[in-house]
Structure 1
């Protein structure tokens, strides 16, 4: 490897730390974990670093926002072991995850568009007795019929956490309120898009956490922005990693 360390370029831990607002202990920890290559030592045992270590630190910090701490650490460890192909594999996995996140976002947006069209054109589901139930409540049969699925499918979705109907205390029947109907419709759209139940459950949870579709729609632009920012930081990380690889030779 091209690690020709010159006495004239010796750097102290504080020199590396100061540039990035880190502590000297953080620098030592990064070295111990393999994020940085091993430091040199003075005759008195003090650590000495070089511009190679500075490049490694810049690469790691640039990789962090796009790949996360665990993957960025693994990438640097692989490079410092000389396993560059393994580092590239880890980077490819992160890019594949980003692509999958983009596809998920597109699926949610498509499902919401279809859901809005369906909701605007469909009559209210029934039946909903005025005394015992809310105006938007319905039962499993009418809801399944409206969606074009079997009641058993709704029961399966309930077990997967996609819908959470309450039980009528007198009859034991499942009662779906407006939020349940919304969740069932969204699940139906996503299932038609090829998504598995375990992939849909977190999305339904996001709808509930947001407080409904309207608030989720408002959050989609932020979701777009975060994915775009992640993509850009991956490019920055790749550039710094390439610079480090060139220094290593």
Structure 2
């Protein structure tokens, strides 16, 4: 009966692949990468897998949406090498990253709510040079010192170009917008290290208005990631039970 059970539990690469829409080569690659435990071989050299390998594959594929391919692979390698705590540490780091992303989203939402009067200010900054404004003009408009703008530049809050002839900083419309956002955030008590990633989000979205429209999608993606982490944790726990 033991032999019959072992025979029934044997799985070919194609058996693992079919259930997950994978190629047999992908299954072999996962084994070689340590994502799956090493397979036994038949006398003819063919790989044979077991329900343990199927559990490992399910765990890995469930971990990927929440943690990313690289981290999911590292988690599975750690578990398969008997270093489960290293895998748990990677999971903890992913949860910390998700928490940080949630806090950034909260900061962006709070900042945009408070920035509406500045964002829609119809009065432009007078240009002091071709295609932009120089540092003195912008600083004067904002009521700050040029040294403050230079500090913001070092922190990555603004990124003015340099005039090729004079070497002076030239702030285009996007730079002026970012400086205005930063100025109001600073007055609201935000430290520079928190302002810089917020400004980066505004730049990536093409401005505060597109970013504001994308906040719902951003929140949905964070929620989906959190749920995916729960699914991945459940499958990993099932795999750990199979390992015994």
Q: TM-score scaled to structure 1, two decimals?
A: 0.82
1:59-110 alpha-carbon deviations (Å, 9 max, x no partner): 0000001101111011001111111111111100000000001111111111
Q: Is the 2:118–2:181 Cα contact (8 Å) retained in structure 1?
A: no
Number of the residue aligned with 2:138: 140
**Unmatched 5+ stretches in structure 1:** none
Number of the residue aligned with 2:87: 87
Q: 1:163 to 1:57 in 2, by over 3 A?
A: same
1:116-141 alpha-carbon deviations (Å, 9 max, x no partner): 14456x78476x37997889x98133
Q: Is the 1:125–1:142 Cα contact (8 Å) retained in structure 2?
A: no
Number of the residue aligned with 1:99: 99
Q: 1:154 to 1:13 in 2, by over 3 A?
A: same
Instruction: Report the Cα distance in structure 1 between the residues aligned to 2:94 and 2:216, rounded to whole angstroms.
Output: 22
Question: Number of residue pairs matched?
Answer: 237
Instruction: Report the Cα distance in structure 2 between the residues aligned to 1:89 and 1:150, rounded to whole angstroms.
Output: 45
Q: What SS is found at the alignment partner of 1:217? A: helix
Instruction: Report the Cα distance in structure 1 between the residues aligned to 2:119 and 2:202, rounded to whole angstroms.
Output: 16
Number of the residue aligned with 1:237: 232
Q: What SS is found at the alignment partner of 1:20? A: coil
**Unmatched 5+ stretches in structure 2:** none
Q: 1:85 to 1:8 in 2, by over 3 A?
A: same
1:30-57 alpha-carbon deviations (Å, 9 max, x no partner): 1111100111111222110011100000
Q: Which moved more, 1:44-53 or 1:200-209?
A: 200-209
CA-atom RMSD in angstroms: 3.0
Q: Which moved more, 1:226-235 or 1:174-183?
A: 174-183
Structure 1 residue 153 corresponds to structure 2 residue 148: yes
Instruction: Report the Cα distance in structure 1 between the residues aligned to 2:45 and 2:87, rounded to whole angstroms.
Output: 32
Number of the residue aligned with 1:41: 41
Q: Is the 1:107–1:190 Cα contact (8 Å) retained in structure 2?
A: no
Q: 1:125 to 1:246 in 2, by over 3 A?
A: same
Instruction: Report the Cα distance in structure 2 between the residues aligned to 1:169 and 1:83, rounded to whole angstroms.
Output: 56
Q: What SS is found at the alignment partner of 1:35? A: coil
Q: Which moved more, 1:106-115 or 1:202-211?
A: 202-211
Instruction: Report the Cα distance in structure 1 between the residues aligned to 2:213 and 2:72, rounded to whole angstroms.
Output: 31
Q: 1:11 to 1:195 in 2, by over 3 A?
A: farther
Q: 1:81 to 1:217 in 2, by over 3 A?
A: same
